[in-house]
C-alpha cells in the first residue's frame, strides 16, 4: 500500500505515504538497537599500592639519557667555539694583511683583504672601519658610509666609524650630516673637544669654499670687470720667453686684482698658483729673482683659506718661502714676513705652516731677522709668538732653537723682557711657560740688563 501511495499522482497521498514510511523505519531501528542505560564503572581504590606508577613519555628513557644529552650539548658548544676561534684568527690575519696593503697605498687590495676577513667574521667592527677608510681613498664615499653604519651596528659607540662617516659625507658635500657625525664623537668622548672642533672647522671651510666658487663663477658669467681681469692677467703671465720685468709687473698687477674673495677664488680655480711658480720654457737663472719678488706681492694678498692650503702645499712654496727670509734684499724679507704673519694669525694657517714648512730653518731665519737691525724685529717676534701657541711647534728643541739665541741678544734684553712680561698675563698656559723660559734665560745671562 505504501508503494502505491508513493507512486500516486495525488500529492497529498504521497506526503501521507512518506510520513508512514518514516514511522516504520524508526520502529525497525528501536527493535534492532534497544535503549541501553549507561553505567559508570569507575571504582575508588581505598587501598592503593605502594609501588610507583609506571613512567610515561620521556621518562621511558634510561636514567643516563639526560647525562648523554648534556654531553652532546657541551661537545657541540666546544666545536662551535673552536670554529669561531679559527674564523677569528683568519679574520685577524686578513686584517693585518689589509693594513699592510693600505700603508703601501694599495687600496683596492686592502678592500679585498678586509672583505675576505668579513666573510670569516661578519661582526668584526675594525674590518668595517678599515674598509671604509680604504673606500674613502678610492673616492667610493657611499660604500664607506655603508661600512660605517655596519660598524656602528657592531659597536654603537665606535668613534672611528663616526669619523670616517663624517669624512665621507664631507666629500659628498653633505655638510649637515658631516657635522652630526663629528658632534656624535663629542657625545661619546667629551675629552676630544679640540679634535672635534678642528673637524667642524674643516666642514665650515669646505662649505664656505663651495659658496665662494659658486659666487665667483656667477660673477665671471656676468662678465664683471674684476672677475675677467684675473683671467686675462693669468693668461698673459703664462706666456713663455718674456722679459723678467714683464712677469714682475704682471704679478704686481695681479696682486691688486685678487684683493677680494672673488678674485682669489678665480685665481685658484684657473691654475694661478702653478702659473706664478713654474714655467719650464723660461731661463730660470735670469728671471728667478724677479719672479720670486713678484710672487711675494701676490702671496701677501692670499687670505682665503682654501688658497692658503693650496699655496702652502705647493712644492715650490715649501722650498723658498723659508729661504726668502734670508734674502739679502730687505724688501723681499719684509714681504715674506708679511706673508708668514698672515698664516700665523689663525689656527688653520699655523697648522698649515707647521705641517708643510721646515720649522727648524724657519725659526733660524726668523731669529736672524730679530738679530739684524732691519726694523723687522717686531714682525718676526710676533710670528714666533703666534706659532708658540701650537703644541706641535718645536717643543722638544725649543730651548736650543729659540731661548739660547734670544739670550745671546743682550742688546735687545730690555725690549724682549718687556714683551715677555706682558705675555705673562696671557690666558694660554703655553705662552706663559714660553715667556717664563725666556725671562729666566735672559736673567741668567744678563742680570744687569734688568736694572
Question: Please, what is the angle between helix 141-154 and helix 159-171, to 10°?
Answer: 160
d(CA 383, CA 360): 14
What pLDDT does 287 receive?
Answer: 41
Residue 298 pLDDT grade (very low, low, confident, very high; cuts 50, 70, 90): very low
Region for 331 from its dihedrals, namely left if φ exceeds 0, alpha if ψ lies in -120 to 50, beta otherwise: alpha
Question: Bigger pLDDT: 156 or 18?
Answer: 156
Cell of 367: 731669529
Please name which of 332, 321, 412 lies closest in space to residue 372, comparing C-alpha atoms: 412
C-alpha cell at 103: 700603508
Question: Does the residue 351 lie in any domain?
Answer: no
pLDDT bin (cut points 50, 70, 90) of residue 357 is: confident
Q: Is pLDDT at 181 greater than 90 in this prediction?
A: yes
The pLDDT, as a whole number, for residue 294 is 44
User: Is the pLDDT confidence value at 439 over 80?
Assistant: no
209: three-class secondary structure by DSSP: helix
C-alpha grid cell, residue 380: 718676526
Average pLDDT of the residues in 163-167: 96
pLDDT digits (tens, 9 = 90+) for 378-410: 788 788 888 877 766 555 555 556 655 555 555
Indicate whether 59 pLDDT > 60.
Answer: no
* CA-CA-CA-CA torsion sign (413, 414, 417, 418): negative
Spacing of C-alpha 233 from chain mean position? 38
Task: Provide the CA 162 distance to its chain's centre, in angstroms.
Answer: 7
The DSSP output letter for 449 is G
Query: Quick one: average pLDDT of 312-317?
Result: 68
* pLDDT surpassing 60 at residue 266: yes
- pLDDT at position 293, please? 46
Which alpha helices (DSSP H) does 172-314 contain, by range? 175-188, 193-221, 225-237, 244-257, 261-269, 272-277, 284-299, 305-312
What is the residue range of 11's domain?
A: 2-26
Counted domains in the chain: 1
More confident: 348 or 372: 348
pLDDT class of 283 with cuts at 50, 70, 90? very low
64: helix, coil or strand?
coil
pLDDT digits (tens, 9 = 90+) for 3-36: 667 677 777 777 777 777 777 777 766 555 555 5
Inside any domain, residue 8? yes
225 located within any domain: no
The pLDDT value given to residue 161? 96
Establish if 14 belongs to a structural domain.
yes
- Rounded CA separation 237/251 (Å): 8
- Please tell me the least confidently modeled range out of 179-193, 209-223, 316-330: 316-330
CB 276 within 8 A of CB 251: yes
- 407 in a structural domain: no
State the Cα–Cα distance between residues 387 and 343, nearest whole angstrom: 9
Residue 241 Cα distances to 232, 246, 286, 399, angstroms = 18, 10, 11, 48
Highest mean pLDDT among 134-138, 193-197, 199-203, 310-314: 134-138
Q: What's the chain's average pLDDT?
A: 76
Mean pLDDT of 311-338: 75
Query: Model confidence at 40, in pLDDT bands (50, 70, 90)?
Result: low
The answer to whether position 12 is within a domain reads: yes
Sign of CA dihedral 393, 397, 399, 405: negative
- The pLDDT-based confidence of 285 (bands split at 50, 70, 90) is very low
**DSSP class of 283:** -
- Residue 17 counted as domain residue: yes
- Residues contacting 439, CB < 8 A, separation 6+: 417, 420, 421
Percent of the chain with pLDDT over 70: 71
Where residue 282 falls among pLDDT bands split at 50, 70, 90? very low
- For residue 313, give the C-alpha cell: 702645499
Other Cβ atoms closer than 10 A to 195: 15
What mean pLDDT do residues 236-253 have? 78
Residue 6, in any domain of the structure: yes
Amino acid at each position: 500500500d505504501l508503494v502505491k501511495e508513493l507512486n500516486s499522482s495525488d500529492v497529498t497521498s504521497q506526503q501521507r505515504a512518506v510520513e508512514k514510511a518514516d514511522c516504520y523505519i524508526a520502529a525497525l531501528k528501536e527493535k534492532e538497537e534497544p535503549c541501553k542505560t549507561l553505567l559508570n564503572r569507575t571504582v575508588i581504590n581505598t587501598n592503593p599500592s605502594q609501588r610507583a606508577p609506571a613512567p610515561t613519555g620521556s621518562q621511558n628513557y634510561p636514567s643516563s639519557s639526560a647525562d648523554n644529552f648534556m654531553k652532546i650539548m657541551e661537545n657541540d658548544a666546544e666545536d662551535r667555539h673552536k670554529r669561531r676561534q679559527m674564523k677569528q684568527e683568519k679574520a685577524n690575519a686578513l686584517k693585518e694583511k689589509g693594513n699592510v696593503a693600505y700603508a703601501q697605498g694599495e687600496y683596492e687590495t686592502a678592500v679585498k683583504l678586509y672583505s675576505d676577513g668579513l666573510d670569516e667574521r661578519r661582526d668584526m667592527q675594525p674590518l668595517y672601519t678599515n674598509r671604509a677608510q680604504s673606500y674613502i681613498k678610492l673616492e667610493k664615499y657611499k660604500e664607506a658610509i655603508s661600512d660605517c653604519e655596519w660598524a656602528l651596528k657592531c659597536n654603537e659607540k665606535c668613534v672611528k666609524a663616526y669619523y670616517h662617516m663624517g669624512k665621507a659625507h664631507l666629500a659628498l658635500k653633505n655638510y649637515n650630516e658631516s657635522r652630526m657625525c663629528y658632534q656624535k664623537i663629542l657625545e661619546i668622548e667629551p675629552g676630544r673637544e679640540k679634535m672635534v672642533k678642528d673637524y667642524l672647522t674643516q666642514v665650515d671651510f669646505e662649505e664656505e669654499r663651495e659658496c665662494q666658487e659658486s659666487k665667483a663663477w656667477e660673477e665671471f658669467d656676468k662678465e664683471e670687470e674684476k672677475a675677467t681681469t684675473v683671467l686675462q692677467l693669468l693668461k698673459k703671465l703664462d706666456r713663455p720667453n718674456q722679459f723678467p720685468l714683464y712677469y714682475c709687473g704682471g704679478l704686481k698687477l695681479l696682486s691688486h686684482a685678487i684683493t677680494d674673495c672673488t678674485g682669489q677664488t678665480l685665481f685658484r680655480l684657473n691654475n694661478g698658483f702653478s702659473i706664478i711658480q713654474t714655467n719650464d720654457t723660461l731661463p730660470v737663472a735670469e728671471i728667478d729673482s724677479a719672479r720670486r719678488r713678484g710672487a711675494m706681492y701676490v702671496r701677501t694678498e692670499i687670505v682665503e683659506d682654501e688658497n692658503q692650503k693650496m699655496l702652502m702645499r705647493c712644492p715650490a712654496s715649501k722650498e723658498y718661502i723659508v729661504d726668502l727670509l734670508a734674502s739679502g734684499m730687505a724688501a723681499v724679507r719684509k714681504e715674506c714676513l708679511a706673508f708668514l704673519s698672515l698664516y700665523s694669525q689663525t689656527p688653520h694657517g699655523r697648522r698649515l705652516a707647521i705641517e708643510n714648512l721646515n720649522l727648524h730653518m724657519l725659526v733660524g731665519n726668523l731669529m736672524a731677522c730679530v738679530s739684524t737691525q732691519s726694523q723687522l724685529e717686531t714682525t718676526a717676534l710676533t710670528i714666533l709668538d703666534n706659532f708658540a701657541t701650537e703644541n706641535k711647534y718645536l717643543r722638544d728643541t725649543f730651548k736650543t732653537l729659540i731661548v739660547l739665541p734670544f739670550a745671546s741678544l743682550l742688546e735687545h734684553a730690555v725690549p724682549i723682557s718687556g714683551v715677555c712680561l706682558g705675555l705673562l698675563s696671557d690666558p694660554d698656559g703655553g705662552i706663559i711657560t714660553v715667556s717664563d723660559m725666556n725671562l729666566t734665560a735672559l736673567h741668567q745671562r744678563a742680570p744687569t740688563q734688568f736694572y
